Chains A and B, each alone.
Chain A
Amino acid sequence: MEEMYPCYIESIYLFKRLHDRGMAEGLMKSYGNTEIDADMYYELSYESIGSVFTDSNNFYNQEEEIETWVFMDPLLDEFCVLCQSYELEHTVSPDENPYRDKFENIIRSGLSFGSYDYDFDWKLLPTDRGRNRILLFMGPEFAFASEVPCGLMDIYDGLEYCVKHLRTEILGKNENILALPPPAEDRKEAA
């Protein structure tokens, strides 16, 4: 009997997680007709790094041999806007904002890999220049690129959670509350 290597299942797992978040479309276009194979896992993982956040770019510095990934997303922008509103409303500094603290911990956890040859940062403060972004720097000896997409999905899930709670707190919007239909009498009149 032939052994089904873990990477065979891991590659399906990666597609599944992206699919559940509506992020698999791009990858499916490129790899939908590709035969499932354990050897494809690392290529798929690398390709899917750019599928999680809407605007993802990467740059390679040949001299330093460092690859830089920049992750940007409208949801990240919304998070920063809501954080500023929260800080104004509660007269607290960004350092004292519990939502920023929580999200920073989520980033740390999502980008925690067993390698010394990488680093990450984020630019989410109003004083930071340019668009709100999360940065990942991968050195030549970083061998955990296959774990990056799942880490990014965890960060995105955490971002959604923080934005949802901030919306409720700042805007008073509770997404779980559905608007009730008008009473029966009103509906009759309207008819």
Chain B
Amino acid sequence: MKLDLELLSMLFFQAQEGPPVSTEGVNPYLLENVLKPFLRRETLRYGDLDYDAFEDDDLHRFSEYCRELYDAGSKLDQLSATMSKTQPEPCKQRMFC
């Protein structure tokens, strides 16, 4: 498989800065106190949570967000794996930038 690095770099430049998945409507307490420790593989106990800081409906949106984030992460992993498997090919002629 050949990679068009020029196109890839152009797409990277065109990509908008910001989180890969919108956090709109996601309870900030859940992002900070459930998702972050989970991603950092920190120990989180049932007794550590403040159950008044979120509504039960918030967990539905939070669940959706986590799935979307995981999907985005999987796509990135896929791209990374493809990149790492691609063998570099030397230029046929010496080039100067």
Contacts and interface: CB of A to CB of B under 8 A. Distances in A.
Contacts of B52: 19
Interface in A7-28: 8-9, 11-13, 15-17, 19-20, 24, 28
Given A1-B39, A1-B74, A13-B56, A28 B66 contact: no
Nearest to A13: B59
Interface stretch (B1-9, B42-50, B87-95): B42-50
Interface residues of B, number: 24
B78 to A, nearest CB: 12
A152 B96 CA distance: 74
A92 B75 CA distance: 65
Contacts of A36: 34, 44-46
A12 B34 contact: yes
Nearest to A31: B46
B23 interface: no
A128 B77 CA distance: 63
A35 interface: yes
B56 A28 contact: no
Q: Say whether chain A's binding surface is mostly helix, strand, loop, or mixed.
A: helix
Nearest to A30: B46
Interface residues of A, number: 23
A33 interface: yes
Interface in B43-73: 43-47, 49, 51-52, 54, 56, 59, 62-63, 66, 69-70, 73
Contacts of B62: 9
Given A9-B59, A35-B45, A36-B34, 13 more contacts: A1-B70, A1-B77, A3-B70, A8-B38, A12-B46, A12-B49, A16-B51, A16-B54, A16-B56, A20-B51, A28-B46, A33-B45, A35-B44
